[in-house]
Amino acid sequence: MSWADRLSPTVKAVPPSGIRRFFDIAAEMKGVISLGVGEPDFITPWHIRESCVHGLHKGYTSYTSNYGLLELREEIARSIYNDYQVTYDPRTEALVTVGVSEALDLAVRALLSPGDEVLIPEPCYVSYKACVTLAGGHPVPVPTRMEDEFRVTVEQLENLVTPRTKVLLIGYPNNPTGAIMPKEELTAIAQFAIKHDLIVISDEIYAALTYDGTHTCFASLPKMRNRTILLNGFSKAYAMTGWRVGYALSNPDFIAAMNKIHQYTMLCAPITAQLAAIEALRHGQDKMKSMVVEYNCRRQLMLKGLHQLGLKCFEPKGAFYIFPSIKETGLTSLKFAEELLKAEKVAVVPGDAFGESGEGFIRCSYASSVSNLSQALEKIGHFIKQYQ
């Protein structure tokens, strides 16, 4: 019997993550400097870890509500109101998930019917198109360009919208480019969504990591509060990747639909991780802000270093990634990443892992120490000399 022949055609059609491929290769090599995986190099602050330890000592090891601890949902709703003046009912309009990845998966599965189209500005996070495909939808990439600071425009969206388009899926600050969208441009996109009666899924996991300007919550825009599924979590801003806690905020009927899937698959996020998330929201702002300051210093280091190497590079305004062009080397993104890893033991992610418009670029995460970043820049410079 061939197991390959028994697999779902939909699953077989989804490529493996380009990020994980290079992470797995790098993990098996000694002395590799990894700029690949988007994970903070900071350890979760002690007071957050301590809240988990305290919970274990108290015997908090049970299931929670499928929706998550009400106490956590109340803190999430309070945080969103304080930051963006958008009100959500924590009892009916908030769902705690196992990371933002699960929130995204639940959202598209609850929304899409076979053949429904989803507009996705690209380059984009690797899960976006895969989740849409697995849910039976049809992802429609909307290419953006470095010359436009990787911002999507209404004109680009209008060229690709069809009667089958149901959802616009956006993520700003953007992974992999570090791009952000000004409020006035997001407002124009909101008006586009209203015009075409679209639902907007807004992945705002990097909202707190905005260095230039102020982050605009999509749900805060006029008439978008009840048309938006707002996704966020704790992994990036609070250095809590392994805790796997995210959340979705939206219309109560839709949150109930997401929860229907959630209760049959994940059931609930781990209670100890939820307790840690409560502590992060209540007392973690100072530590979070200090990490953002450090990321900003590293951002400037990488931007200056890549420019000195002669690589064209857009200045990222958010997240902790930089997305230089390697087109002048004559190598494809994949070949550049493979040869750099082989020759210099520096791991980066080929830009085409984030969609076709990422070809000719590489993603470098600067969520690493200054020492590692400086060494990586030196090694990248040594590598590209042979192509200049």
What average pLDDT score do residues 71-87 get?
98
- Which SS3 state, helix, strand or coil, does residue 326 take? coil
- Which SS3 state, helix, strand or coil, does residue 3 take? helix
- Which SS3 state, helix, strand or coil, does residue 149 take? coil
What average pLDDT score do residues 80-106 get?
98
pLDDT at 18: 64
Q: Return the bridge partners of 212, or none.
A: none
What is the C-alpha to C-alpha distance for residues 252 and 343, in angstroms, rounded to an integer? Answer: 53
C-alpha separations of 253 from 23, 80, 92, 171 in Å: 39, 20, 8, 23
Find where tokens 């976006």 sit.
128
What average pLDDT score do residues 66-81 get?
98
Instruction: Give, as one character, the DSSP assignment of residue 43.
Output: P
pLDDT at 5: 78
The pTM for the full model equals 0.94
What is the C-alpha to C-alpha distance for residues 42 and 64, in angstroms, rounded to an integer? Answer: 28
pLDDT at 387: 76
pLDDT at 11: 84
**Three-state SS sequence of 318-374:** ECCEECCECHHHCCCHHHHHHHHHHHHCEECEEHHHHCHHHCCEEEEECCCCHHHHH
pLDDT at 19: 66
Question: Which helix H or strand E contains 94, and what residues bound it?
Answer: strand 94-97
- Which SS3 state, helix, strand or coil, does residue 30 take? coil
- Contact assessment for residue 348 and residue 22, using Cβ atoms and an 8 Å cutoff: yes
What is the C-alpha to C-alpha distance for residues 238 and 301, in angstroms, rounded to an integer? Answer: 22
**Helix residue spans in 204-270 (DSSP H):** 252-265
Beta-carbon contacts of residue 256 (< 8 Å; ≥ 6 apart): 92
Residue 20 pLDDT level (bands cut at 50, 70, 90): low
Average pLDDT value for the chain? 94
Q: Return the bridge partners of 321, or none.
A: 365
At CA 354, angle to CA 142 and CA 303, rounded to 5? 105
| Number of alpha helices (DSSP H) and beta strands (DSSP E) in the chain | 14, 12
Q: 368 pLDDT exceeds 80?
A: yes
pLDDT at 264: 95
Find where tokens 């705690």 sit.
96
Residue 39 pLDDT level (bands cut at 50, 70, 90): confident
What is the C-alpha to C-alpha distance for residues 130 and 212, in angstroms, rounded to an integer? Answer: 30
- Which SS3 state, helix, strand or coil, does residue 102 take? helix
Q: What is the pLDDT of residues 217-251, one digit of tens each?
A: 999 999 999 999 999 999 999 999 999 999 999 99
What average pLDDT score do residues 149-155 get?
96
Where in 98-181 does DSSP place strands (E)? 117-122, 138-143, 165-171
Q: What is the pLDDT of residues 118-143, one digit of tens each?
A: 999 999 999 999 999 999 999 999 99
Q: What is the pLDDT of residues 245-291, one digit of tens each?
A: 999 999 999 999 999 999 999 999 999 999 999 999 999 999 999 99
